[in-house]
């Protein structure tokens, strides 16, 4: 395969990854989803009916019903990266005298990540049930703004505790609801936000570590090839240094799979690091993603004196409920349990 074909495949794979990731994030209002909807509208009239219904059904199944598809996809991608790392990078790194202990870090991280991933999937996020609801109602006071007292969920027919939300995918109300995550096929709520955070950080560490090892390996390969000091004779008979384009082309042709993997890992790393930072920020200021989205419409008139008066105002903005960083973290890692009322 020549360089351009490979490069084209590479770009397509990266684009597909971006599409998948944007779609999974599940927030209806991402600019990407708007774009996708518009594309759908434009191509719609030209696609056969059966294809339309098929894709609609598939999307519905994937994103609006509980299913393990993304868990399988997750394991598949991980398996591919680890197979590639083990069979190609590992041996090369051993040859360059990278120590065994630094080469085993990715496997340790894999074990840690799998543990948190499992807990995210298996842990009940804090489902509001008939039995527990009376205790769950007392965990948080209603703020009268985002959460009003005495509102019942029309589906579950139970009074909604403050900070809870009905998850349409799982069809249940969840206490301290954060969001529904398709990658773990579970809601993130009071009881598993801590595992979700640890999971995000361990995936970042995993991707970052493998990317570093792979980058180091490619660097050594380039140094070894002598391309950095090589030169060629151009059409006019002048001697020219090989330059970075030659190096990239050389790497693409010599280690196509490894270069693919490295690009994928760097992409995943930055994406998830951003996501992990956002969720850490939320944890530190005692907010759920749900509350964050809901309170976006509120305008602080103190900061925006020219804002129209009929917009909902909230002077205290988003920090209102924070009693300090440590207590906020404490609440994530030791979530308050529903008060059990004793019957006498």
Ligand X SMILES: *[C@@H]1O[C@H](CO)[C@@H](O)[C@H](O)[C@H]1NC(C)=O
Residue 291's contacts (CB-CB under 8 Å, 6 or more residues apart) are 146, 163
- When the beta carbons of 219 and 325 are compared against ligand X, the nearer one is 325
Residue 156 site contact among Zn ion, ligand X, none (CB < 5 to 8 Å, cut-off depends on kind): Zn ion
- Residues 234-263 binding ligand X (CB under 6 A) are none
Hey, which residues does 232 pair with through a beta bridge? Answer: 240
Locate 208 and state its tokens.
């970052």
- When the beta carbons of 89 and 187 are compared against Zn ion, the nearer one is 187
> Do 191 and 123 touch, CB atoms closer than 8 A?
yes
What is the total residue count of the chain?
344
> Do 240 and 233 touch, CB atoms closer than 8 A?
yes
Total residues contacting ligand X by CB under 6 A comes to: 10
| Contacting residue, 25, 98, 249, 328, with ligand X by CB under 6 A | 328
- When the beta carbons of 25 and 249 are compared against Zn ion, the nearer one is 25
Query: Is residue 181 annotated as a catalytic residue, yes or no?
Result: yes
- When the beta carbons of 57 and 323 are compared against ligand X, the nearer one is 323
- Residues 140-179 binding ligand X (CB under 6 A) are 140-141, 163
Query: Residue 226: what are its φ and ψ, rounded to 5°?
Result: 75, 10
Q: What is the contact mask toward ligand X in residues 185 to 204, using x (rule: CB under 6 A)?
A: --------------------
CB-nearest residue to ligand X:
321
Give the Cα separation of 48 and 270 in Å (integer). 38
Tell me which H or E stretch contains 172. strand 172-174
Query: Residue 254: what are its φ and ψ, rounded to 5°?
Result: -85, -40
Binding region for Zn ion (CB under 5 A) out of 149-157, 284-292, 305-313, 326-334: 149-157
Give the Cα separation of 312 and 133 in Å (integer). 30
Residue 280 site contact among ligand X, Zn ion, none (CB < 5 to 8 Å, cut-off depends on kind): none
Strand 172-174 relative to strand 179-181, pairing? unpaired
Binding region for ligand X (CB under 6 A) out of 2-10, 28-36, 311-319, 327-335: 327-335
Catalytic residues: 181
Which residues form the interface with ligand X (CB under 6 A)? 140-141, 163, 286, 321-323, 327-328, 331
């Amino acid at each position: 395969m020549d360089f351009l074909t490979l490069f084209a495949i590479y770009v397509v794979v990266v684009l597909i990854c971006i599409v998948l990731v944007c779609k999974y994030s599940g927030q209806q209002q991402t600019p990407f989803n708007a774009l996708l909807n518009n594309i759908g509208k434009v191509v719609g009239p030209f696609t056969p009916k059966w294809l339309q219904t098929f894709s609609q059904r598939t999307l519905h199944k994937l994103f609006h019903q509980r299913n393990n598809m993304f868990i399988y996809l997750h394991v598949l991608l991980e398996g591919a990266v680890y197979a590639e790392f083990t069979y190609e990078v590992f041996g090369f790194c051993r040859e360059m005298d990278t120590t065994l202990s630094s080469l085993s870090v990715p496997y340790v991280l894999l074990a840690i990540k799998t543990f948190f991933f499992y807990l995210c999937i298996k842990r009940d996020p804090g489902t509001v049930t008939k039995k527990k609801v009376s205790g769950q109602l007392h965990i948080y006071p209603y703020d009268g703004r985002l959460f009003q007292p005495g509102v019942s969920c029309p589906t579950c027919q139970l009074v909604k505790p403050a900070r809870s939300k009905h998850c349409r995918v799982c069809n249940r109300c969840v206490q301290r609801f954060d969001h529904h995550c398709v990658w773990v096929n579970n809601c993130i709520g009071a009881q598993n936000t801590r595992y979700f955070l640890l999971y995000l950080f361990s995936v970042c560490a995993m991707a970052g570590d493998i990317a570093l090892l792979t980058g180091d390996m490619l660097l050594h390969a380039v140094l070894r090839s002598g391309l950095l000091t090589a030169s060629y004779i151009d059409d006019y008979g002048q001697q020219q240094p090989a330059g970075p384009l030659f190096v990239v082309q050389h790497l693409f042709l010599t280690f196509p799979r490894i270069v693919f993997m490295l690009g994928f890992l760097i992409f995943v790393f930055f994406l998830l690091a951003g996501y992990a930072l956002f969720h850490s920020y939320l944890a530190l200021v005692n907010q759920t993603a749900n509350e964050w989205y809901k309170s976006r419409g509120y305008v602080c008139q103190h900061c925006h004196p020219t804002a129209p008066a009929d917009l909902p105002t909230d002077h205290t903005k988003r920090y209102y409920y924070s009693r300090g960083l440590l207590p906020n973290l404490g609440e994530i890692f030791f979530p308050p349990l529903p008060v059990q009322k004793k019957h006498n």
